[in-house]
Amino acid sequence: INAEYGHNFVTAEYSKSKNNPGSNNSLNQEATKYSVDDALREIGLGFYHFKWVPVIAMSGFTQSSMISLAPLLIGSLERQWNLNIPIEVLLLFVLFFGAFPGDIMAGVWADKRGRKLPLIFGQLLLLIFTVLSTVSFNYISFSVCYFFVGVA
């Protein structure tokens, strides 16, 4: 196999014999070019899949920003709700503790039903419980919402 790196894509050139696949006779061999674009067309990757890339990217951005902003958020809640340190740690723990069953459930569900439905359901959970966490009135309701944000 000889790989050439073109402008946009890689083209792999391989030889196969019509008469005898194992022979090295150059008269019986023909070269066929096979690009990455051909491979993507063959497996069925198209516009439908590429339009999901921004959705998945925004999902990752939302979840990572919730995780990175959690200490700042809990710090502001400490002053507002007069929280002590063990409860602050518990609120951070609840977010990560929700991720464990959420990842397992989403993986099993994706294996049985496909990836689309768990992705949409996770995004809906994330939207609903992120909004509900902003209007929570005490640390118990906030921790329940944060648990489901972790599940999402």
Q: Are 17 and 27 spatial neighbours (Cβ–Cβ below 8 Å)?
A: no
93 residue type, one letter: F
Task: Identify the pLDDT of residue 27.
Answer: 47
Dihedral sign for Cα 137, 139, 140, 146, please.
positive
Contact 97, 147 (CB under 8 A): yes
Residue range 114-136: mean pLDDT, rounded: 86
pLDDT (0 to 100) of residue 144: 92
- Work out the percent of the chain whose per-residue pLDDT is above 90: 5
Determine which of 1-10, 51-60, 103-112, 132-141 has the lowest per-residue pLDDT on average.
1-10
Residues 6+ apart with CB under 8 A from 124: none
In sequence order, what are the beta bridge partners of 12?
3, 34
As a whole number, mean pLDDT of residues 5-31 equals 49
Paired residues of 111 in beta bridges: none
Residue 1 has pLDDT above 50, yes or no: no
> Residue 94 has which token pair?
């609840």
Q: How far apart are CA 114 and CA 106, in angstroms?
A: 10
